Amino acid sequence: MTSNELRIVKLSENFCYHELFPRHMCENLSAFYLKGMIDQRILNIAEQIRSDLGSVFVNNWYWGGAMQWRGYRTFDSAYYSSGSAHSWGQALDCNVRGRSPQEVHECILGQQDKYMALGLTRLESLEDAPTWVHLDVKYTGFDHIHVFRA
C-alpha cells in the first residue's frame, strides 16, 4: 500500500494518524486501535503549541519524507528504547514552522502553568535536541517542566 492509498484519518483537530505513527502501523492497524496507543495529553499539548505558535510538524513519511519515528516508536525503530516515552505514546519530536526550537522552548516555559495543566512534564535540552523540540508527559513528580539531558 502506498501512502497515496492510505486514507487521511484525523487523530485530533489538526493532526492525522500518519503524522504521529510510523508507516507500517498506519498500513496495518485500524484508526480505532491506534487512537488507544497515543496519550491524549500529548495530542492536546501539540494542539496548544499549534494554537500558540503555528503549524507543528512531526512525521513526514506520508509526503515522501524520511521521518517516521518522531512520534510513536516500535521495537523495529533504530531509536527504540523500552523506557522511552515515545514507546508508550507519551512523547513526540516536532518542529514549528518559522520558529526555532529555542523560541518554542521559550514559549512553553513562559507559559509553564498552562502547559503543565495539559500534562507536559519534560522538554529535552537544546544542547541535545538543537534542531527539534522533544515533548513528553512522562511522570517526573516535579512542580515544573523538567528540561533534561538525554
Ordered mean pLDDT values, 10 residues apiece, the chain (150 residues) = 64 94 94 94 98 97 96 96 96 98 98 98 98 98 97
Domains in the chain: boundaries: 10-148
What is residue 9's predicted lDDT score, i.e. its pLDDT? 87
pTM equals: 0.92
**10-148 domain in CATH 3.40.50.300?**
no
Over the chain, what HEC string results? CCHHHCCCCECCCCCEHHHHCCHHHHHHCCHHHHHCCCCHHHHHHHHHHHHHHCCEECCCHHHCCCCCCCCCCCCCCCCCCCCCHHHHCCEEEEEECCCCHHHHHHHHHHCHHHHHHCCCCEEECCCCCCCCEEEECCCCCCCCCEEECC
What is residue 1's predicted lDDT score, i.e. its pLDDT? 44
